[in-house]
């Protein structure tokens, strides 16, 4: 059974920063989301989550675009921004999901999966504590720059689509 999303989108942009803030560099996603929330960009909602849970599918379905922010060990020296597509299945096999599965869940339950990206920040230390390694501190700064560019780019693309749709037929 699928629920219809509300006619008006709740937010233009949803940024979800996730990770364990008690395990060193793993808290990079939440730190970035907190920083974005403090900037109070219009039309931007930033959520801090320890895990990606099924309950996030509803706000995801109501955003124009979503950006997942997480620490990653797979690219130790660079912040990476990748476009995401929903997974084929929305089945969640454990207590936490991954971004593509949440997009599929938003699509299957609420009828809509927005455009989505995954921003990963270099992480090297997962010891107990809230301190970030120098690599992750640098990655957090780079991630905030990428987010500003991402917001600017997506807002410009959105305005261009609106202008094209308002243009009278020739």
Number of neighbours of residue 92 by Cβ within 10 angstroms: 18
What architecture is the 11-166 domain classified under in CATH?
3-Layer(aba) Sandwich (3.40)
Q: What average pLDDT does the segment 68-80 reach? A: 87
Confidence band for 167, pLDDT divided at 50, 70 and 90: low
Candidates 72, 166, 58; CA nearest to 114 is 58
Is the pLDDT at 20 greater than 60? The verdict is yes
Confidence band for 40, pLDDT divided at 50, 70 and 90: very high
Confidence band for 145, pLDDT divided at 50, 70 and 90: very high
Q: Which residue has the tokens 């970030």?
A: 132
Domain boundaries, the chain: 11-166
| pLDDT given for residue 161 in this prediction | 54
Query: What token pair was written down for 169?
Result: 């037929």
Q: What average pLDDT does the segment 3-25 reach? A: 79
Is the pLDDT at 7 greater than 50? The verdict is no
Of residues 159 and 52, more confidence is placed in 52
DSSP state of 129: B
Query: What token pair was written down for 57?
Result: 């599918």
Is the pLDDT at 4 greater than 60? The verdict is no
| pLDDT given for residue 2 in this prediction | 45
Confidence band for 89, pLDDT divided at 50, 70 and 90: confident
Q: What average pLDDT does the segment 119-147 reach? A: 95
Whether the Cβ atoms of residue 63 and residue 13 lie closer than 8 Å to each other: yes
């Amino acid at each position: 059974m699928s629920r219809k999303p509300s006619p008006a989108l709740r937010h233009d942009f949803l940024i979800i920063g996730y990770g364990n803030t008690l395990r060193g560099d793993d808290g990079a996603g939440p730190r970035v989301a907190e920083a974005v929330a403090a900037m109070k960009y219009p039309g931007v909602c930033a959520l801090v989550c320890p895990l990606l849970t099924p309950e996030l599918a509803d706000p995801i379905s109501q955003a124009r675009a979503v950006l997942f922010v997480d620490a990653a060990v797979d690219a130790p020296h660079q912040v990476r921004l990748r476009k995401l597509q929903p997974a084929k299945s929305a089945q969640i096999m454990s207590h936490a999901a991954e971004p593509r599965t949440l997009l599929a869940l938003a699509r299957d339950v609420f009828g809509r999966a927005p455009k989505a990206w995954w921003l990963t920040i270099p992480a090297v230390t997962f010891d107990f504590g809230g301190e970030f390694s120098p690599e992750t501190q640098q990655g957090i700064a780079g991630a905030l720059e990428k987010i500003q560019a991402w917001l600017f780019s997506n807002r410009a693309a959105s305005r261009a689509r609106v202008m094209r749709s308002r243009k009278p037929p020739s």
